[in-house]
Structure 1
Amino acid sequence: MSRHKLVKGLDLDEELNDFDGGVEDDYDDGVSAEDKEQLRQGLIRVREVIGENGDFTDKEIEDSLWHYYYDVDKTVNYLLSQKAGSQPKKSKKKKGDAVGTAAKDFFKDSPWLNIPKERCGEILIEPLYPRGRLLGGASKADGAPKSKLAALAAARKRKENLKPEDDQDAPSSVTLLDRLGAKPRARKPDPQFSSSSSDSQRTPAEQEKTTQARKYPARKSPSAEALPAEQLTEAPSNASEDLPSSGGDGELERTPAAAPSVFARTIFGPSAESHAPAHGSADSRMSKSLEYHTEFDFTVPSPDDVVIKAQSTKRPAQKPGKQPAPQANNDRSVNAIAHGVEEVAIEDVRVRRKNLDVLAEFGKLKAKNAANFVVIGHVDAGKSTLMGRLLYDLKVIDQRTLDRYRKEAERLGKGSFALAWVLDQGTEERNRGVTIDIAMNKFETETTSFTILDAPGHRDFIPNMIAGASQADFAVLVIDASTGNFESGLKGQTKEHALLVRSMGVQRIVVAVNKLDTVAWSQSRFDEITQQISAFLTTAGFQSKNLAFIPCAGLTGDNIVHKTTDPNASWYTGPPLISLLESSEPVARALEKPLRLTIDDIFRGGVQNPLSISGRLDAGTIQVGDTILVMPAKETATIKSIEVDSAPSDWAVAGQNLILHLSDIDPKYLKSGDVICPPSAPIPCLTSLTVKVLAFSHITPMHVEVLKGRLHAPGRVTKLLAELDKASGNVVKGKKPRLLKPGAVARVLLEMEEAVPLEQGGRVVLRAGGETVGAGLVE
């Protein structure tokens, strides 16, 4: 037999009768003996309280006692209320009423009803803002306050009562539209102001007269045909003439009024009645206030539209003989203001070109030789420290600044980097201990003015090193002479940097064998390094006469500005590093060629110069006021001012480091790597170019990155045209190459993703996969 059939056939009554729930014998129908005793005593007490007034059964009394938990007082109150025929109302009570008394007795045990009167108090909360009132104010003859709107409402009511019945008919909608189109309406006051102040400040007789007024009275004005157009928007000078009198005999009721309040005078300005007695005419002030509440005519341009149109329109400057049109003294209209704005002419301040003969001015100037040199080498070879010691020994930086750098470096646990911080000014460079971008500094000797370009040695920042090498006249190659570091550097960035500077056109190089103090100024170590580096540089294309080697120690300053006094270095009898730098020959300047300047940086030069660019002038001359062309954007700009080596100048020539402050161009058309040129001889922008390239690694048709200074553009080697002989430059006869091996010279075809400003003879570097694969000339 299944379980659900067993449950279905179960006799529930029989099971309940057989169940013994353990009910005690003291209970009878759920009432214990103790409850029965309390019910009996409560019944006796209720009977004593009710007496003869109640004909209630014992069952009713016991039920009430059971409901109120044997509370005799509440039971009596309930029974009496049942006898009265209704429940007691808590909201409305009368003194002496049995129901009110019963409710009071019901809540007699509440603690808040037994507070003595001397301890009772009132909670007063002051309002956040004072009660709003009307401007000005008025008073009646009996001294009671009376508002102006209330007086106008009463006058309007009396005026409507005196009108004939024919005039009281409601105008049609067509008539209302005609009136709206004929003249501007005066804005009616807000009816909400009469709800509190006017009704509470008037006598009952006046309140009775104005109870049926639906709106406040409007000013009575002559018809549109009777007044000129300019008077339709003005309120009448005396509005009291339009108000009917209260007595009905045609005389106006003059309501004494107080002087305008400070707020009213601030809003509406001083009126003609400001010198009148305190109780002047309220009607005239009301008409003055209504004058400023006329509605705007939307058929004419708004004041904002007039001003914006005047600002967007460039008007020529006013001639000296032309005088502005005379304006009325009291003309405050919108048209007068708009006319005044249109008369304002904004003339752009343009810098005039002085038409200087820059070559003649440069010939007259007896300046020192100027040279830029880039400091290259493997990472951690001591390039920045070497240049920092050079600047310190030449008194370019003082001892106080160096001490501050040393203290900050020791705080970071890099005390030996204090001299390097002279050039490495960036926070990230100082924290990482490596140079990231080109660091520039300037110093002068008796014969030459030098600009240092400290290039980063890390392989991740080769593009920045290329940007610095493109601005250099010669290079300083720093070699770490300590054991093991020279060999690792020769396999690293030492060779790559040397090849790159040669590809960028640098022909002279000074090799500074640094950190010789760590090997006790060993002459054999110096000779070994000199032999290997000389052989490599000669193979890379440098001539032996353009190579110079010098042993030095950048941290101690030996053989940098002053010769070393260490007896272990007595074998070196040559000059210090600064003498080798001064012996460099002056570089030929391309003064006769068209203007060419590659943008190195774009920045804000100051409040007066919001757009400035910096770079080295590669060719040509330039002066203040010239119009230049930015390629490849093909946008023109005007030169406001020029700074040569951070000094203001009226002109500049090729080979100088410049800062140009521009105008008449949007910054979005400028970016690093763009070329500044004259509009008459623009540089070509190419998307396909042929390059004579020297391979540093294997080159095939592949994607590459083309670099020239700050120019960094993606491209693709689409075709290997021919392989060339290194000595003669002629095409090697045979099959066309499919692969260029390292050291090979070939002519390749480059396709650029976008046009780049390059011309014949420009030097470019090809990189792919984070490595330099080749360098060459644009043909």
Structure 2
Amino acid sequence: MTVSHERVIEEWRKREESGRRGISLVVVGHVDAGKSTLMGRLLHELGTLSDKEHTSNERASAKIGKGSFAYAWALDSSEEERERGVTIDVAQDTFLTPNRRFTLLDAPGHRDFIPNMISGAAQADAAVLVVDASKGGFESGFGERGQTREHAILVRSLGVQQLVVAVNKMDAVDYDEERFKFIVDAVKPFLAQSGFDATKVTYVPVGAAVGENLVERTADGPLASWYTGPSLVAVLDELAPPSRQIDAPLRMPVTNVFRGQTAISAGVGASGRVVGGLLSVGDRVRIVPGDESAVIRALEQDGETVPWAVAGSAITAYLSGIEMNIVNIGSVLCPPSAPVQLATSLLVRVLVFEPSLPLMVGTPIELFHHSSNLSAVLTELVSTIDPKTGEVLKRKPRVLSRGVTATVRITLQAPGPIEPASVNKDMGRVILRMRGESVAAGVVLECN
């Protein structure tokens, strides 16, 4: 039975006023900064990961000589991730703080898995940037070949404004206050240059492996002699949920597709984050690209069956009346009456990062949009512009240099479901990559 959308909006508003408000949180940072260990320990201390599950992970990890990865195994669940000791795909879980309900997205740190990291960051409202405080660890992650800088730039480019910098492994430097200050002083100007508002960035010293300053700051703990700020959980609990485009047409980019295995979840399972509008059980949705439609048989959120979901929710929709090969990663679920349009030509305002090769007319690129990776070409460099005033500085530049803001025309080799940011900001953000490096990010101004 379909629940009326007016009733859904009414129920959602009541829930937001009276209960914990939901936030999607992505955890990023250089490989080996301790992201999965930090979040695995946090899940255990908050009760999301049971003692029984953690003990099982301790025994299994110790058996293959990786006992120090026990907390990370709460999120790194695949056999390959556990054998290699690195996060490969985006792991998802949930946890509660006194005032917030978090959907946790643990993104891979290795440069080989940046596309997966982009997919995770595109679903986030806020981010935790995990920095390794150990001697050499910070320098490696924050250096030219490290992923700390690229991850920070990418999450900001994908719309994340609230950032928590968790300076991890403080136990490895004997909780040295000067080391913490050194790291903050190095990271702070870079984040400002990357577009973060300093008032929306918080720095927290932690020792994930030993549980220091994660849930509570102990009065007589090793940080007590100089740190008087909040614990990581206390900072997370103060994050502000962004406004949601509830009244917009449904838009749900698909991040995973699978076959449902139970009576309730029979049919095609399509996971993703609702970035506009809402949907409820019984609704008919269209899958774009394509002309096919399906009926929502069931909805699942945070491991529980729910009757409806709204913008900002990470969900799985079980679809009936459609074949599995019709729904793909990168497809968008939308109303049959208001489908997202397919575009082949995009006018995009981009910020150029630090590309190794020049960006010129004719340059082949990869355009990342949510979980889609679309082959494209830079077909026109319209102008460079002043990022503060929007004033045109130069028309038809020959090349785009690093740090430049510009308007460009991009042609996709195959049509993609993309909308201008003025219509739906989450559907209008793109990342440009070339030869394994992120070269620019931008917002879509026009689609044709």
Contact 2:294 2:319 in 1 (8 A): yes
C-alpha separation in 2, matches of 1:408 and 1:354: 45
1:764 aligns with 2:430: yes
Contact 1:511 1:547 in 2 (8 A): yes
- Secondary structure of the residue that 2:188 maps to in structure 1? helix
Deviation at 1:367, TM superposition (A): 3.1
2:253 corresponds to which letter in structure 1?
T
C-alpha separation in 1, matches of 2:438 and 2:46: 37
Q: Deviations over 1:392-451 (max 9, x none)?
A: 111222333222212221222111111110110000000000000001111112221111
Contact 1:614 1:657 in 2 (8 A): yes
2:56 to 395, 404, 428: 404
Query: Partner residue of 1:500?
Result: 154
Deviation at 1:607, TM superposition (A): 4.2
C-alpha separation in 2, matches of 1:363 and 1:383: 34
Q: Deviations over 1:44-82 (max 9, x none)?
A: xxxxxxxxxxxxxxxxxxxxxxxxxxxxxxxxxxxxxxx
Query: Partner residue of 2:44?
Result: 392
Counting matched residue pairs gives 427
2:102 corresponds to which letter in structure 1?
F
Contact 2:93 2:302 in 1 (8 A): no
- Secondary structure of the residue that 1:453 maps to in structure 2? strand
C-alpha separation in 2, matches of 1:450 and 1:639: 25
Query: Partner residue of 1:744?
Result: 404
Query: Partner residue of 2:273?
Result: 616
Q: Deviations over 1:569-622 (max 9, x none)?
A: 420011100000000112211111111001111111224312111111111011
1:729 corresponds to which letter in structure 2?
G
Contact 1:646 1:659 in 2 (8 A): no
Q: Deviations over 1:680-712 (max 9, x none)?
A: 111110111111111112322311111011111
Contact 2:295 2:319 in 1 (8 A): yes
2:249 corresponds to which letter in structure 1?
P
1:12-411 matched pairs, under 5 angstroms: 352-355=1-4, 357-365=7-15, 366-411=18-63
Deviation at 1:568, TM superposition (A): 5.5
2:97 corresponds to which letter in structure 1?
T
2:12 corresponds to which letter in structure 1?
F
Contact 1:385 1:555 in 2 (8 A): yes
1:631 corresponds to which letter in structure 2?
V
Higher-Rg member (1/2)? 1
C-alpha separation in 2, matches of 1:470 and 1:494: 17
1:379-778 matched pairs, under 5 angstroms: 379-491=31-143, 492-564=146-218, 565-567=220-222, 569-608=224-263, 609-696=266-353, 697=355, 698-701=358-361, 702-733=363-394, 736-761=396-421, 762-778=428-444
2:431 corresponds to which letter in structure 1?
V
1:399 corresponds to which letter in structure 2?
D
Deviation at 1:549, TM superposition (A): 0.4
Contact 2:175 2:222 in 1 (8 A): no
C-alpha separation in 2, matches of 1:693 and 1:570: 45
- Secondary structure of the residue that 1:587 maps to in structure 2? coil
Judging by fraction of residues, say which structure has more helix: 1
C-alpha separation in 1, matches of 2:33 and 2:306: 38
C-alpha separation in 1, matches of 2:413 and 2:201: 40
C-alpha separation in 2, matches of 1:683 and 1:748: 22
- Secondary structure of the residue that 2:226 maps to in structure 1? coil
C-alpha separation in 2, matches of 1:566 and 1:653: 42
TM-score computed with the length of structure 1 as normaliser = 0.54
1:574 corresponds to which letter in structure 2?
G
C-alpha separation in 2, matches of 1:534 and 1:516: 18
- Secondary structure of the residue that 1:606 maps to in structure 2? coil
1:584 corresponds to which letter in structure 2?
L
What is the alpha-carbon root mean square deviation over aligned residues?
Answer: 1.3
Deviates more, 1:639-648 or 1:669-678: 639-648
Judging by fraction of residues, say which structure has more strand: 2
- Secondary structure of the residue that 2:167 maps to in structure 1? strand
Contact 1:459 1:493 in 2 (8 A): yes
Query: Partner residue of 1:26?
Result: none
Deviation at 1:459, TM superposition (A): 0.2
Contact 1:406 1:418 in 2 (8 A): yes
TM-score computed with the length of structure 2 as normaliser = 0.93
- Secondary structure of the residue that 1:640 maps to in structure 2? strand
* Structure 1 unaligned residues grouped into runs of 5+: 1-351
* Structure 2 unaligned residues grouped into runs of 5+: 422-427
2:65 corresponds to which letter in structure 1?
G
Deviation at 1:355, TM superposition (A): 3.4
Q: Deviations over 1:720-758 (max 9, x none)?
A: 11111122122114x521111111111111111110000
Contact 1:615 1:657 in 2 (8 A): yes
1:449 corresponds to which letter in structure 2?
R
C-alpha separation in 1, matches of 2:366 and 2:222: 51
C-alpha separation in 2, matches of 1:545 and 1:588: 19
C-alpha separation in 2, matches of 1:674 and 1:778: 18
2:279 corresponds to which letter in structure 1?
I
Shift of the 489–623 alpha-carbon distance from structure 1 to 2, 3 Å rule, reads same
Query: Partner residue of 1:259?
Result: none
C-alpha separation in 1, matches of 2:216 and 2:3: 46
- Secondary structure of the residue that 1:534 maps to in structure 2? helix
- Secondary structure of the residue that 2:208 maps to in structure 1? coil
C-alpha separation in 2, matches of 1:447 and 1:355: 28
- Secondary structure of the residue that 1:727 maps to in structure 2? coil
Runs of at least 4 residues of structure 1 off by over 6 A? Answer: none
Deviates more, 1:357-366 or 1:626-635: 357-366
C-alpha separation in 2, matches of 1:473 and 1:607: 31
C-alpha separation in 2, matches of 1:544 and 1:607: 48
Deviation at 1:389, TM superposition (A): 1.0
Query: Partner residue of 1:299?
Result: none
Shift of the 732–563 alpha-carbon distance from structure 1 to 2, 3 Å rule, reads same
Q: Deviations over 1:112-149 (max 9, x none)?
A: xxxxxxxxxxxxxxxxxxxxxxxxxxxxxxxxxxxxxx
- Secondary structure of the residue that 2:274 maps to in structure 1? strand
Contact 1:520 1:568 in 2 (8 A): no
C-alpha separation in 2, matches of 1:725 and 1:567: 48
- Secondary structure of the residue that 1:600 maps to in structure 2? strand
C-alpha separation in 1, matches of 2:382 and 2:162: 32
- Secondary structure of the residue that 1:505 maps to in structure 2? coil
- Secondary structure of the residue that 2:165 maps to in structure 1? strand
- Secondary structure of the residue that 1:483 maps to in structure 2? coil
C-alpha separation in 1, matches of 2:344 and 2:50: 51
C-alpha separation in 2, matches of 1:622 and 1:399: 36
C-alpha separation in 1, matches of 2:289 and 2:375: 15
- Secondary structure of the residue that 1:498 maps to in structure 2? helix
2:392 corresponds to which letter in structure 1?
V
Query: Partner residue of 2:424?
Result: none
1:752 corresponds to which letter in structure 2?
L
Query: Partner residue of 2:425?
Result: none
1:393 corresponds to which letter in structure 2?
E
